[in-house]
Amino acid sequence: MSTDHDDRLNRVWDIPVRGDTPPVADAELVRRLHGVSAATACARMNSQGVRRTWIDGPVALNRGQKVVGRAVTLQFMPQREDIADGVTQEYIERSTALWAVLDEIQPGDVLVVEARGSHTTGCFGDMLVRYFKNRGGAALLVDGRIRDVPRVRQLDVPVWCTGATPHYASQTEMFPWAYNVPVAVGGVLTLPGDYVVADDDGAVVVPRGRAERLLADAAAHEEWEVFSRMRIDQGAPLRDYYPLTEATRREYELWRANGAGIEAR
């Protein structure tokens, strides 16, 4: 039976707005992407001509965690009082995209949240993060704040966000509007089904159709960096080995041909 709160949501616009369910993640691809750092992913995507992949703003709530997963998206929009009036939203939220997207989460998913950098919107708190964890979610990536930080830290769910606030999700200026739709997070377009690589350097979006090429580029890049580190540690000039010159690349190719590369380990 519909409540007054639920009826109010649909008086102006049919919400939550729902997009198509994203394609299932390729488990083997995710496993291989775990070997790629956020820095390498960002650099290799840039070399492919995809320049905006690093999500500016969110940082790791708990340092030392690494996550790779399929992007599931949630979009917040600015509030308008004929839809949510600042008093009843906490009850309305259960009929919004915020609740709906959690039931879409599959094991290993990264929930990517567009909150427009709001400092006063606590997009997630203890209860919702608990539910997300129980659904098998891998990480939360929020272009905004969360609340209940001490309890969220205890849950050991990797979170990248811009900080903390005591507010619940729709208490102030934003409202959960849509899910499984394209989102703009930290200046980066993220499509449902893209891959996210996140570590202490931040979070990088890898377009789904570029993931295999990224892996090939990253493997080659990582191998010559292993060689360059070795030579720099031996006292070689930085300018000759980072990046490789024409001459030192020949030296690297010889080193690799002699079986000293990553594949030989």
CATH number at residue 104: 3.50.30.40
Was 94 annotated as part of a binding site? Answer: no
Residues 148 and 233 in one domain: no
186 and 250, same domain (yes or no) = no
Among 189, 210, 51, CA closest to 112: 189
Residues 154 and 227 in one domain: no
| Cβ-based neighbours of 1, under 8 Å, separated by 6 or more | none
Strand partners, 110: 71, 139
109 annotated ligand binder: no
Whether residue 168 is found in the same domain as residue 38: yes
Residue 69 counted as an annotated binding residue: no
Q: Is 148 annotated as a binding residue?
A: yes
Are residue 177 and residue 238 in the same domain, yes or no? no
Same domain, 238 and 196: no
Number of domains in the chain: 2
Residue 44 labeled ligand binder: no
Q: Are residues 219 and 202 in the same domain?
A: no
Query: Which of residues 207, 228, 254 is at a domain's end?
Result: 207
* Alpha-carbon 4 to chain mean position: 35
Amino acid residing at 6: D
The CB-side HSE value for 189 (13 A sphere, CA atoms) comes to 6
Q: What is the pLDDT, as a whole number, of residue 52?
A: 97
For residue 127, say whether it is annotated as part of any ligand binding site. Answer: yes
Predicted local distance difference test score (pLDDT) of residue 262: 55
The whole domain housing 238 covers 213-264
What is residue 55's predicted lDDT score, i.e. its pLDDT?
98
Domain termination site, one of 186, 207, 228: 207
What pLDDT sits at residue 180? 98
Take residue 42 and report the two structure tokens written for it: 């960002």
253 and 185: one domain?
no
Structural domain ending residue among the three candidates 178, 207, 236 = 207
Quote the pLDDT of residue 171.
Answer: 86
* 202 in the same domain as 107: yes
Residue 54 structure tokens: 């690093």
In residues, how long is the chain? Answer: 265
Are both 98 and 202 inside the same structural domain?
Answer: yes
**What is the model's pLDDT at position 90?**
60
162 lies in the same domain as 184: yes
The per-residue pLDDT string of the chain (265 residues; one tens digit each, 9 = 90 and over) reads 445 555 555 567 788 999 999 999 999 999 999 999 999 999 999 999 999 999 999 999 999 999 999 999 999 999 887 776 556 666 667 788 999 999 999 999 999 999 999 999 999 999 999 999 999 999 999 999 999 999 999 999 999 999 999 998 888 889 899 999 999 999 999 999 999 999 999 999 999 999 999 999 998 888 899 999 999 999 999 999 999 999 999 999 999 998 776 554 4
Please give the pLDDT value at position 264: 44
pLDDT of residue 10: 53
- Shared domain for 224 and 122, answered yes or no, is no
